[in-house]
Structure 1
């Protein structure tokens, strides 16, 4: 077995931890973006619903 490989284990673990952190942050960012987009769409629909009865009265 190549025992020199074990010298690089801490570096590999740091790389793995960094990759995991980046992926988690990316997924969290996507979820925040999707939630904001959905909330904006819901707000737009609510304002359209409020304006529709006003148009019927006129």
Structure 2
């Protein structure tokens, strides 16, 4: 067995940890973006519903 390969194990573990962290942050940011977009859409729909009764009264 080539024992010199074991010298690179810590570096490979750091790369794996960094990749995992980047992927987790990317997924979390996408979820936050989707939630904000849906909340904005919901607020727009609610504002439109509030305006409709006012138009009926006129």
TM-score (norm: length of structure 1): 0.97
Structure 1 residues 5-56: Cα deviation after superposition (integer angstroms, max 9, x where no partner): 1000000000000000000000000000000000000000000000000011
* Count of matched residue positions in the alignment of Structure 1 and Structure 2: 58
RMSD: 0.4
Unaligned residue ranges in structure 1 (runs of 5+): none
Unaligned residue ranges in structure 2 (runs of 5+): none
Runs of 4+ in 1 over 6 A off after TM superposition: none
